[in-house]
């Protein structure tokens, strides 16, 4: 209901369309953003298709987009692409799940024992800094050319961000909340289950997001160094044959696996952390 003052100024208000125009602009902006993103993709695809031949870039350096699509179809028919894709995807998923589980368990265990956390923290830091992918040749020497080395590299790569995030959550838990639970005569196990664990979930989910992206790196390195299957293997195979399109295609599929893994984590996070108010999308 407009107030009397507003009604008196009715003409002036109607004559100044500042507010509706701003709202309209905001709505147009909301639609313009995805449209702009799609436009960028189209321009990039066209440039990729037509610019290299125009500039005289040879196909073994930068194959046009059409060649990548044709190579993808050929790989599907002749190179058992589905098998390689499934192998890499399942290895990444398995490594992610195992690494996350170990990382979370160790994070909670260390978070509950201040003494062990202090004893082990220098080693955790050292291992966190060590380049985990460099362990891949070592694992191949230990376990041979099978699935074990890639799985281990992936587990190792995923392990640390989860461990560190969970440990951080346990260390920064609100002491007053813990005291409240204690005042209600809760035992340690109950305090963990009802306060510390749920309070750590935002950090755990943040760790899982990082882990999801790292899992693909871990499995790729494992397959590059010593694999007979998987997209990493296809990359080194394509490299040996100077098949640049094959390398590009494998990279694209690895990225897709990473996006799916990350998406699954994001969907889980939205469900688990439903109680956290989200700022409206800009």
Partner 1 sequence: MPHIPPAIDLDGVTRRFVRPGGAPLVAIELVSFSVAPGTFVAVVGPSGCGKSTLLNLVAGLDPPDEGTVRIGGAVVAGPSPQVAFMLQKDLLLPWRSIQRNVEFGLEARPGIRRAERRARAERELARCGLSAFAHHYPAQLSGGMRQRAALARTLAVAPGVILLDEPFSALDAITKLTLQQSFAETIHGAGVTALLITHDLMEAVAMADRVLVMSGRPGRIVEDIGLDLPDRGSPMARRRHARAHDYAARLFSTLRLDAAEAA
Give contact residues for partner 1 (rule: CB under 8 A).
174, 176-177, 179-187, 190, 194-195, 198-199, 201, 273, 275-277
If the CB atoms of residues 25 and 188 are measured against partner 1, the closer one turns out to be 188
Whole-number Cα distances in Å, 151 to 20, 92, 139, 165:
57, 8, 10, 22
Q: C-beta of 4: minimal distance to partner 1 in Å?
A: 28
Report the SS3 class of residue 83: helix
User: Nearest approach, Cβ of 197 to partner 1 (angstroms)?
Assistant: 10
How far CA 254 is from CA of 38, 144, 223, 228, in Å, comes to 22, 24, 12, 16
Smallest distance, partner 1 to C-beta of residue 241, A: 53
**What contacts 209, CB < 8 A, 6 or more positions away?**
262, 265, 266, 269
The least distance separating partner 1 from the CB of residue 261, rounded to whole angstroms, comes to 25
> CB-based burial of residue 14 (10 Å sphere; 0-12 exposed, 13-18 middle, 19+ buried)?
exposed
Q: Considering only CA atoms, give the Rg of the chain.
A: 26
Nearer to partner 1, 30 or 273 (CB): 273
Cα 260 from Cα 89, distance rounded (Å) = 10
77 versus 278: smaller Cβ distance to partner 1: 278
Phi, psi of 267 (to 5 degrees): -65, -45
Q: Which two tokens stand for residue 169?
A: 């959550």
Under DSSP, is residue 218 helix (H, G, I), strand (E, B) or coil? Answer: helix
Between 186 and 260, whose beta carbon lies closer to partner 1?
A: 186
Reading the block at residue 123, the tokens are 């080693």
The CB-of-198 to partner 1 minimum distance in angstroms stands at 5
The CB-of-114 to partner 1 minimum distance in angstroms stands at: 16
* Gap between the Cα atoms of 278 and 236, Å rounded: 43
Contact 50, 64 (CB under 8 A): yes
* Closer CB to partner 1, 112 or 201, in the complex: 201
Q: Which is nearer to partner 1, 144 or 198 (CB)?
A: 198
Shortest reach from residue 182's CB to partner 1, in Å: 5
> Of 56 and 277, which has the nearer Cβ to partner 1?
277
- Give dist(CA 162, CA 73) in Å, integer: 38
């Amino acid at each position: 209901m407009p107030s009397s003052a507003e009604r008196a100024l009715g003409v002036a208000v109607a004559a100044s369309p500042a507010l509706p125009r701003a709202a309209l602009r905001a709505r147009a902006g909301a639609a313009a953003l995805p449209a702009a993103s799609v436009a960028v993709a189209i321009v990039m695809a066209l440039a990729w298709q037509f610019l290299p031949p125009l500039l005289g870039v040879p196909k073994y350096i930068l194959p046009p987009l059409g060649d990548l699509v044709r190579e993808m179809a050929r790989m599907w028919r002749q190179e058992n692409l589905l098998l390689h894709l499934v192998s890499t995807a399942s290895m990444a998923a398995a490594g992610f799940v195992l690494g996350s589980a170990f990382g979370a368990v160790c994070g909670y265990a260390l978070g509950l024992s201040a003494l062990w956390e202090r004893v082990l923290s220098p080693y955790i830091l050292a291992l966190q800094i060590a380049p985990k992918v460099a362990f891949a040749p070592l694992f191949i020497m230990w376990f041979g050319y099978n699935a074990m080395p890639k799985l281990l590299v992936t587990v190792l790569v995923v392990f640390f961000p989860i461990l560190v995030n969970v440990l951080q959550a346990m260390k920064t838990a609100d002491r007053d909340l813990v005291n409240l639970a204690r005042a209600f005569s809760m035992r340690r196990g109950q305090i963990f289950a009802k306060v510390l664990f749920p309070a750590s979930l935002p950090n755990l989910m943040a760790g899982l997001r990082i882990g999801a992206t790292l899992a693909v790196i871990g499995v790729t390195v494992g397959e590059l160094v010593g694999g007979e299957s998987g997209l990493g293997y296809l990359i080194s195979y394509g490299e040996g044959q100077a098949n640049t399109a094959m390398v590009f295609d494998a990279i694209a599929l690895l990225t897709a696996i990473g996006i799916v893994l990350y998406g699954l984590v994001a969907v889980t996070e939205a469900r688990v952390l439903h109680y956290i108010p989200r700022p409206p999308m800009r």
